[in-house]
Amino acid sequence: MAQQDGSDEMESVRIQLSNIGRSVSTEEVQTLRTLTSFDDDSDYDDDDYYCYDDYCYDDDDDDDDDEYESQWAAVERLPLFERITTALFDDKVGRKRLVNVTKLGPDERHCFIDKLIKHVQNDNLSLLEKLRHRIDRACFKFYRAGVQLPSVEVRYKNLSVQAECQLVHGKPLPTLWNATKGAFSGISNLLGSKQEAKISILKDVNGIIKPGRMTLLLGPPGCGKTTFLLALAGKLSQTLEVSGEITYNGYGLDEFNPRKTSTYVSQYDLHTPEMTVRETLDFSARFQGIGSRAEIIKEVSQREKQAGIVPDPDVDAYMKAISVEGTESTLQTDYILKILGLDNCADTMVGDAIRRGISGGEKKRLTTGEMIVGPTKVLFMDEISNGLDSSTSFQVVSCIQHLVHHTDATALISLLQPAPEIFDLFDDVILMAEGKVVYHGPRTYIHKFFKNCGFRCLERKGIADFIQEVISRKDQAQYWYHKEQPYRYVSVNQFIQKFKECKIGVSLEKELSDPLEKTQSRRDSLSFKRYSLSKWELFKACLRREFLLMKRNSFLYVFKTLQLLMGASMTMTVFLRTRMAVDIIHANYYLGALFFTLMLIIVDAFPELSLTVSRLEVFHKQRELCFYPAWAYAIPAAILKIPLSFLESFLLISLTYYTIGYSPEVGRFFRQFLVSFGLHVAGMSMFRLISSVSQTIVASTTAGTLALVIMSSFGGFIVTQHKCQVLFFTIFAPYMVAASMPPWLNWGFWLNPVSYGEIGMALNELLAPRWEKVKSGNTSAGQETLENRGLNFDSSFYWLSVAALFGLTALFNVIFMLALTFLKYYQLQGQEDSRDESIHNESKISVETDSFSGSETGENIESSLTSKLKSVIIY
């Protein structure tokens, strides 16, 4: 294949050489011919690089050439910063014009990408070839390599991963007796009598993943592929025991930030359903940053100016546009949309089970695009072709291949059953079985390796299927081709031993024994910062996203407001002012109206719980990818809800205050509004906190409902703080009932936002001048009512209650941020994991799970590795 590629490029060289003409000087030709002399291992001859000629060499029209050169001369006269942000774009009539790439509009970006990439396979490859050639030529013009694309070599040596699991005898059916036994076993576990065992997921694996080469990861379900990818990406759970060594360019994982240097593409598609495909990619591109793109274009521009090189205007515009940091929309997004075939649904919402959106295959491509839109140089991709047809899978993998080969990226891609044409796109193959690496070497050698072991691929059988079946006990016999010798099962350990003895295995072991030197260029390829943007930019980006999501959920907020208005109308009709006098009997009615208003407010904040839960999956995914910290998510979520709380509280108080007949002073109207506003923001903050801790909709709804019960019970109205006499009426006769809160439950009163709302509103109303005029003995009716309710506080306590409400708001938000920062997100992958005590297959522990069966068992348990404390994982 390499020879065929070389012959194709030579043919391209001959065609383009005939069109170069006299625009290329003899000195430049000689300089270009020295390109390949710097690489002794190159398979191309001296003229290979002629197939990447720049704009000025291909121009047939002298007038257009002169005009372009004059425009480019104007660009060269600009200061450096303006020069690397100014490029030549085509206008509507096809003429070149100077454009600031930081201010490109959506139509300009769309038209430019459509012009640049008409046929995805060919034009994408051509663009990357031109981009790479421009960088190389800027270096070789000075007869030395000075501008190098960042590259990362990943090495793993003696890597092993173990997990602790709880032993469960057998796999019980969900019967009453088994449930009872399970309850008793849970009690015994709490007492410390539980039995645990260690499960080995990865066992002493070794290898090197080199930059500029596509590496395919194959293996049966449950062999440890996902764990292997997570280990290399530095994203394994801390509850796992990891031994061995993993290095990037010779640096250990503790010497830099592996989560920012590498990207793990999960097999699960987690996206914000309210955002469009384009918005999702723009958001990801903004937080991933630009890496070293700005430094590269700056260095290349300076060298081209010194050498008098006029670059291809389209390549120059593309490189400059993707090197701008912090923009809301970038040309790189349009490029990724085009090469992944997502341009047709770019402005369609992602959607979910409720909202109509893009298809499952488009979500899978979006998951891939969300990661490769950034400048990351190391890609660990897990089952990226699931749900895609063969044609789309080939297009996606082919685009990644072009990216890897021409930008020196490092890619390890796990596929379940790749088609033969997809398998041929890879350079190297890693074959895993039983947590071990059976083969790690060139794709072209793997068939020969198994042939030397006595197995040969059948006709009309794909190599990928063959190598996965030949290590299986039940499928291995059909590939035995030594008919003169009796077949004997070859175990995984025997295959591993044969690989260590072959020349590929010996070469790999020798290379691993020589550690990489820690040079400055290799260090520069790694990321040591946790976030790509400044704190202010992080805040602005998250604030903009939160505002967008609020607009997309506007129906919910409108519905909430209408629901609150309905509650206000009910309050106005039940507690009508014409039926309520200013006396000690009706004072309790006023307190009842105030309490009902408080409950309307706190219930109106309840939907914040489900909204927060629905976004936790995406938040934790983006937090693990080092997009932004928890505070950048929590603060905008709190700030943007303040106007909503202000509006709803004002509408509620405006409708009910004078209709019910509270004290007519305007100041007291606004003081009651202030209390309701403080309670609303405190309630929304509290429900956000509950959802961040509970994490699932079922647990959050249960905890939120319990919180409502506690707040209503301990709010100072249903059950008072002090022992008192409360008057109740029945259809038979009035009677007195003693209702008081036990002292040991006082915490429920003082930690309750509704209590402070009750205190503030009650003091605001019952200490008004009109209640001072009505005397009952030596005290006013207002004072007596407050004493009966256990709310006899000084008038200054109103402001303390307001301060307490806003203080609780701040406290809830701080704890919310801490919960988002430190709590892990546990996805429920199934029920309790169990195992059979029987030992099989060389005394390896067999583990089963209640919720999985068949071939899905191992893969699902393996994927839940990072989400369960001391979970059971099989390999």
For residue 868, tell me if it sits in a domain. no
- Tell whether the model's pLDDT for residue 427 goes beyond 70: yes
99: which strand partners?
87
pLDDT at 329: 87
Average pLDDT, the chain: 81
280/273 Cα distance (integer angstroms): 10
- Tell whether the model's pLDDT for residue 551 goes beyond 70: yes
For residue 682, tell me if it sits in a domain. yes
Residues 473 and 503 in one domain: yes
pLDDT at 640: 95
pLDDT at 13: 39
- Which of 529, 749, 542, 510 minimizes the C-alpha distance to 631? 542
- Tell whether the model's pLDDT for residue 521 goes beyond 70: yes
pLDDT at 284: 94
For residue 860, tell me if it sits in a domain. no
Residues 638 and 734 in one domain: yes
484: domain CATH number? Answer: 3.40.50.300
Quickly state the pLDDT bin for 167 (edges 50, 70, 90).
Answer: low
- Tell whether the model's pLDDT for residue 578 goes beyond 90: no
Residues 576 and 482 in one domain: no
pLDDT (average), residues 284-305: 87
Q: pLDDT over 70 for what percent of the chain?
A: 80
Residues 547 and 503 in one domain: no
- Tell whether the model's pLDDT for residue 804 goes beyond 90: yes
On whether the pTM is more than 0.85, the answer is no
Residues 499 and 549 in one domain: no
Handedness of CA 741, 746, 747, 749 (dihedral sign): positive
For residue 157, tell me if it sits in a domain. yes
pLDDT at 170: 55
DSSP string, 63-94: HHHHHHHHHHHHHHTS-HHHHTTEEEEE-TTS
Residues 501 and 564 in one domain: no
Question: Taking a C-beta distance cutoff of 8 angstroms, is the pair 198, 435 a contact?
Answer: no
DSSP string, 93-125: TS-EEEEEGGG--HHHHHHHHHHH-SSHHHHHH
- Please write the tens of the pLDDT for every residue from 617-668: 999 999 999 999 999 999 999 999 999 999 999 999 999 999 998 999 999 9
Which stretch of 170-174, 726-730, 814-818, 869-873 has the lowest confidence by average pLDDT?
869-873
Quickly state the pLDDT bin for 188 (edges 50, 70, 90).
Answer: low
- Please write the tens of the pLDDT for every residue from 669-720: 999 999 999 999 999 999 999 999 999 999 999 999 999 999 988 887 887 7
String of b and e for 104-129 (b: at least 16 CB within 10 Å)?
beeebbbbbbeebbeebeebbbbbbb
For residue 414, tell me if it sits in a domain. yes
Domain end (from 467, 502, 528): 528
- Tell whether the model's pLDDT for residue 791 goes beyond 80: yes
Residues 611 and 722 in one domain: yes
The total number of structural domains that make up the chain: 2
- Tell whether the model's pLDDT for residue 9 goes beyond 90: no
Residues 492 and 635 in one domain: no
How crowded is the C-beta side of 440, counted as CA atoms within 13 Å? 24
Residues 508 and 556 in one domain: no
- Tell whether the model's pLDDT for residue 473 goes beyond 80: yes
727: which strand partners?
736
Per the structure, the complete domain to which residue 255 belongs is given by 151-265+380-398+408-528
Residues 671 and 716 in one domain: yes
pLDDT (average), residues 526-551: 93
Neighbouring C-beta atoms of residue 866, cutoff 10 Å: 22
Residues 695 and 771 in one domain: yes
For residue 684, tell me if it sits in a domain. yes
Residues 512 and 545 in one domain: no
810/753 Cα distance (integer angstroms): 12
- Tell whether the model's pLDDT for residue 772 goes beyond 60: yes
- Which of 45, 47, 58, 37 minimizes the C-alpha distance to 13? 47
For residue 818, tell me if it sits in a domain. yes
pLDDT (average), residues 379-395: 89
Quickly state the pLDDT bin for 153 (edges 50, 70, 90).
Answer: very high
pLDDT at 65: 63
Hey, what are 7's tokens? 């012959």
- Tell whether the model's pLDDT for residue 444 goes beyond 60: yes
For residue 234, tell me if it sits in a domain. yes
Q: Report the range out of 20-34, 70-84, 751-765, 852-866 with the highest average pLDDT.
A: 751-765
pLDDT at 857: 36
pLDDT at 742: 74
167/870 Cα distance (integer angstroms): 11
